[in-house]
Amino acid sequence: MTDFFVKTDQSVAGPFTGVEVREAALAGIIRSDAVIGGSRIGPWLSVMNVGLFSDKKVPLPHPADVKITMYRVRGMAGGNDCAFKLRELIGFAARGLLPPDAVVEIDVAGTNELSPAIEKTNSTRSLAADRIPILASCLNGELVLVGNRGQVVSRTSATTHVTSLTANAKVPRSLAKEAVRDAANRPMLVVTDAERSAAEAEEAAEATVRSREAIAKSAEKICKEAALEIQSPSFICQTILGMRRFYRPRLAISIVATLLMLAGISCGYSAWTVQPMARTSMLGDWIHQDSDRSGPNFGVRFQDDGRCVIFNTVGPSWTGDFVLSHAASFKNAFAPSGSLAVAVDDAEPHHLIGNVAVTDRHVELRGFVKVLPMLDGHPVRDLFVRRVGDKLSLGYLTSVEWTGGIKTMKAAWVTAEKSLDRTQATLPDFDKADAVSLLTSFGIPDEARDLYPFETRDLPSGTSVNAAQLVRYGNRTTVIDVEKP
């Protein structure tokens, strides 16, 4: 028979049989990070490499040809009620539920051996728990049970009887039966000393009778308490739920944790609903068309480098820079004590009036000197932008209202759609180019602006030169008359 030793943090435990080692692994006493050897000095091998654990660190069962013996225990509460596997006895010993002087009995027909020191008596083999190597190592603390969080569940000490008494207190019916049996089997005091008087003998006999009556009353009281406990709703709940106590602190912690989680979800959802539009959502080309879809009115381009192009089919176009900020930064800059309404600008008849939301972005246009950029026939110096699907709404501020300390901004909105790719554009069926045909066929130009005074010298003289616009697509530049649609 091969002996095995388990190396612990403080010492070397063993020797153990192969069955004991595998049962200890199945009981959780030997973990996947342990090392074992054939002697107290090694060499040491990881249990992962000797067939005790799988690749997923799960204890492997016994081979098919190994018969697992069941054991009965005398001297432990409930030990005679049913048979136990060795791994269960190891768990009892590690938790302090197995007294050191408890007697373990196994069948002669069993093929497993606990220890060669087991005494053979008639049809059973028995030995005290503290004389079985694997159980003794659990009782003296050499091998301990470690929980899922890495803490030691229980380290058994020499006061194991106290733990066993605590275990007996959990089963009052068993304790009552033992008390009655002890009262019946307790021998009466017999006076044999001839020199003692008859009065002393009678007094001793009466004391013995009183002692037996007290034990019987105590057993009867324990039985009544057990019956009341079984009939109580708390005992029924504890039996169904499989727990002995209902810990109120744990319940309070669970309730507080749930409330904090719900508050966090609510705050996160509120923050998500007021999250401003991303900068990348407004980048690209956007073209506004008439309601009858007869043709485009204007186009706007926002580039990642901060460049902006506003190309109008009627009126001057503009090319410059823009700076992006949040519309929420304008919400509480000023708060009057009463109600107040301030008109900022007049809206065009074909533009819709609507509120400015906290999720909108504010665009400040830069690069103009005297003449403001025009957006669909209306001069603007800054814009509010909002994207919904493939549409970008552009608005200019028209009024501000304060009611009850709450600021509300209104803007005139016009919607532009995502433009087509230039590769999809088709040339018009005429040779005269104007703003509508250019915007329809080629999209928003790279540059669109008024002509500078020094650029008009190279153009033919005429009245249309004063209203001409420079339009550039890549390295191709043209001049159009925007007053003639």
Question: What are the Cα distances from residue 13, in Å, to 27, 57, 118, 268?
Answer: 16, 22, 19, 54
The answer, yes or no, to whether residue 462 has pLDDT greater than 60, is no
Residues 415-429 pLDDT 10s: 988 875 444 445 444
pLDDT at 69 (0 to 100): 76
- Which own/partner contact pairs does 83-86 have at CB distance under 8 Å and 24+ positions apart? 85/23, 86/19, 86/20, 86/23, 86/112, 86/114, 86/134
Handedness of CA 408, 412, 417, 421 (dihedral sign): negative
Per residue in 282-316, pLDDT tens? 888 898 887 766 678 888 999 989 999 998 888 88
Q: Rg of the Cα trace of the chain?
A: 47
> What pLDDT was estimated at residue 270?
67
Q: Minimal CA–CA distance to 24: which of 158, 115, 145, 164? A: 145
Percent of the chain with pLDDT over 90: 5
Between CA 320 and CA 229 the distance in angstroms is 86
Q: What is the pLDDT of residue 44?
A: 83
Query: What is the token pair recorded at 449?
Result: 């602006």
Domain ranges (residues) in the chain? 4-169, 180-241, 247-275, 279-481
- Residue 432 to residue 448: CA distance in whole angstroms: 18
Please name the residue that has the structure tokens 């009115």.
297
In a 10 Å sphere around its CB, with 0-12 CB exposed, 13-18 middle and 19+ buried, how is residue 8 labelled? middle
Amino acid at 232: S
User: Closest Cα partner for 396 from 369, 419, 377?
Assistant: 377
- SS3 at position 417: strand
Q: Residue 302 and residue 305: Cα distance in Å, rounded?
A: 9
**pLDDT surpasses 90 at 15:** no
Give me the pLDDT at residue 114, please: 43
pLDDT (tens digit per residue) in 93-136: 777 777 877 888 775 444 444 444 444 444 456 777 777 788 77
Task: Please check the confidence at residue 61 and state whether its pLDDT lies above 80.
Answer: yes
**Are the C-beta atoms of 205 and 196 separated by less than 8 Å?**
no
Question: How wide is the angle at C-alpha 46 spanned by C-alphas 40 and 51, nearest 5°?
Answer: 110
**Better-predicted residue by pLDDT, 257 or 194:** 257
Q: Is 63 left (phi over 0), alpha (psi -120 to 50) or beta?
A: beta
172-185 vs 160-169: helix crossing angle, rounded to 10: 110
Tens digits of residue pLDDT in 198-241 = 455 456 556 655 655 665 565 566 556 555 544 455 444 444 44
User: Tokens at residue 316, please?
Assistant: 């001057």
Residues in the chain: 485
Query: Best-predicted range by mean pLDDT among 58-72, 74-88, 461-475?
Result: 58-72
Can you tell me the distance from the alpha carbon of 24 to that of 26, in angstroms, rounded to the nearest whole number? 5
In this predicted structure, what is the pLDDT of residue 394?
A: 92
What is the spatial distance between Cα 10 and Cα 19, in angstroms, rounded to a whole number? 24
Write down the pLDDT at residue 384.
92
C-alpha pair distances (Å), 72 with each of 79, 81, 83, 177, 480: 6, 8, 5, 19, 105
Paired with 289 in beta bridges are 296
CA nearest to 448, candidates 419, 469, 429: 469
Our measurement of the distance from residue 393's CA atom to the centroid of its chain's CA atoms, rounded to an integer in Å, reads 39
